[in-house]
């Protein structure tokens, strides 16, 4: 199953990654004029190979501020000579930002000690007027950001120059849910959608940035992977599993305790199905309508449940998968079936008692 999901994720990335950030085969985008501040950026020696379009002459060397209040230069201090992951977020975002930050937290864990030593992660605010270092620090702590992962703010003008050069051209409310992966010494960049499976993202990042990623590892042959024939009734569960892995697993576990949100192992037993359907489909509307359970969940959890953008079919498939993974549900079903089997005997005893009383 995992091999199937990885193959699908690989195809998904291949379709979505723009050519302009896939390496040296294409020149940077020139459809729009770059902000004026870009031309004013100081010139510094490039660490990229000769002929690469992505060196010091391309990237600005503007000042940004970390969540700890330290001022750094974007090119000189953050990316020159380094291997980096860069995404854009803002702390008041209630849609993709919490999801992509939670996914990067998973990737950080999977990459292990490489982060902060060989690979560096930067999350840059698209709302610098609001996102002070203090707010970014609190946001980073919510997601357990470790060493090597910086959250950055700055002036509106400087951040606009950086985001333009990294291909982020949309308004902050419509910004892409992607991470830029850059091997700056080699002048190679690509984008990976953060909707992909965390294991897939970590593997792509690792093999792209770490030449020793596969050292000492035996790669399994796909022909030796277990195969299973699926029936039509299995399809919703397969879709539901995929949705859980890509939309929920960054914050929730199934039977392994609290992660960034509650354990969902028994959620289909604890919550009425119609309520669960509405909450998964539009948690923001539930909170706006003052639903008491939704409000209590907001108060009792570190992160606010974002709108996942699922349609009704997807919500149904996700709930079906959660039901299938609930061990307690199976116990309840067994108890119900046993009760149904015992009911005729109970009915006979009751009838005999009534006859005797007469």
pTM, entire model: 0.70
Is CATH 3.40.30.10 correct for 2-30+50-209?
Answer: yes
CATH number for the region 236-325 comes to 1.10.760.10
User: What per-residue confidence (pLDDT) applies to 202?
Assistant: 94
Burial of 35 (0-12, 13-18, 19+ CB in 10 A): middle
Structure token pair of residue 198: 């965390």
Please list the ranges in the chain whose pLDDT falls under 70. 1-52, 172-174, 219-220, 222, 224-228, 230, 327-358
The answer for residues whose C-beta is within 8 angstroms of residue 51's C-beta and 6 or more apart is 24
Beta-bridged to residue 85, according to DSSP, are 121, 181
Per-residue 3-state assignment (H helix, E strand, C coil) for the chain: CHHHHHHHHHHHHHHHCCHHHCCCCCCCCCCCCCCHHHHHCCCCCCCCCCCCCCCCCCCCCCEEEECCCCEEEHHHHHHCCCEEEEEEECCCCCCHHHHHHHHHHHHHHHHHHHECCCEEEEEEECCCCCCCHHHHHHHHHHCCCCCCEEEEECCHHHHHHHHHHCCCCCCHHHCCCEEEEEEHHHCEEEEEECCCCHHHHHHHHHHHHCCCCCCCCCCCCHHHCCCCCCCHHHHHHHHHHHHHHHHHCCCCCCCCCCCCCCCCCCHHHHCCHHHHHHHHHCHHHHHHCCCHHHHHHHHHCCCCCCCCCCCHHHHHHHHHHHHHCCHHHHHHHHHHHHHHHHHHHHHHHHHHHHHHHC
Cα 257 to Cα 279: distance, rounded to the nearest angstrom = 21
Q: How far is CA 350 from the centre of its chain?
A: 57
Handedness of CA 321, 326, 329, 333 (dihedral sign): positive
User: What per-residue confidence (pLDDT) applies to 39?
Assistant: 39
Backbone angles phi, psi at 122, to 5 degrees: -130, 125
Cα 125 to Cα 158: distance, rounded to the nearest angstrom = 11
Domain boundaries, the chain: 2-30+50-209, 236-325
The answer for residues whose C-beta is within 8 angstroms of residue 41's C-beta and 6 or more apart is 59, 60, 61, 62, 75, 161
Handedness of CA 86, 88, 93, 97 (dihedral sign): negative
């Amino acid at each position: 199953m995992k091999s199937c999901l990885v193959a699908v994720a690989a195809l998904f990335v291949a379709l979505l990654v723009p050519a302009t950030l896939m390496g040296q085969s294409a020149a940077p985008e020139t459809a729009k004029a770059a902000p004026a501040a870009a031309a004013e950026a100081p010139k510094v020696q490039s660490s990229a190979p000769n002929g690469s379009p992505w060196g010091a002459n391309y990237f600005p060397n503007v000042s940004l501020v970390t969540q700890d209040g330290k001022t750094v230069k974007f090119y000189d201090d953050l990316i020159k000579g380094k291997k980096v992951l860069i995404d854009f977020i803002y702390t008041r975002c209630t849609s993709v930002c919490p999801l992509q930050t939670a996914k990067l937290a998973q990737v950080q864990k999977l990459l292990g000690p490489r982060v902060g030593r060989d690979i560096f992660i930067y999350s840059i605010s698209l709302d610098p007027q609001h996102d002070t270092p203090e707010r970014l620090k609190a946001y980073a702590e919510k997601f357990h950001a470790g060493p090597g992962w910086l959250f950055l703010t700055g002036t509106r003008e400087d951040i606009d120059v950086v985001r333009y050069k990294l291909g982020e051209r949309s308004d902050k409310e419509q910004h892409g849910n992607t991470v830029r992966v850059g091997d700056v010494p080699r002048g190679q960049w690509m984008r990976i959608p953060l909707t992909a499976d965390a294991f897939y993202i970590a593997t792509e990042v690792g093999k792209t940035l770490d030449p020793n990623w596969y050292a000492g590892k035996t790669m399994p042959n796909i022909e030796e992977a277990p195969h299973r024939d699926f029936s039509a009734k299995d399809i919703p569960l397969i879709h539901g599993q995929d949705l859980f892995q890509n939309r929920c697993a960054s914050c929730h576990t199934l039977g392994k305790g609290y992660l960034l949100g509650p354990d969902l192992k028994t959620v289909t037993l604890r919550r009425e199905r119609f309520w669960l359907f509405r909450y998964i489909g539009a948690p923001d509307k539930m909170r706006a309508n003052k639903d008491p359970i939704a409000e209590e969940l907001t108060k009792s959890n570190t992160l606010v449940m974002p709108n996942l953008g699922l349609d009704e079919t997807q919500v149904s498939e996700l709930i079906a998968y959660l039901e299938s993974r609930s061990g307690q549900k199976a116990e309840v079903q067994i108890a119900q079936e046993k009760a149904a089997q015992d009911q005729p005997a109970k009915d006979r005893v009751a009838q005999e008692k009534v006859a005797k009383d007469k």
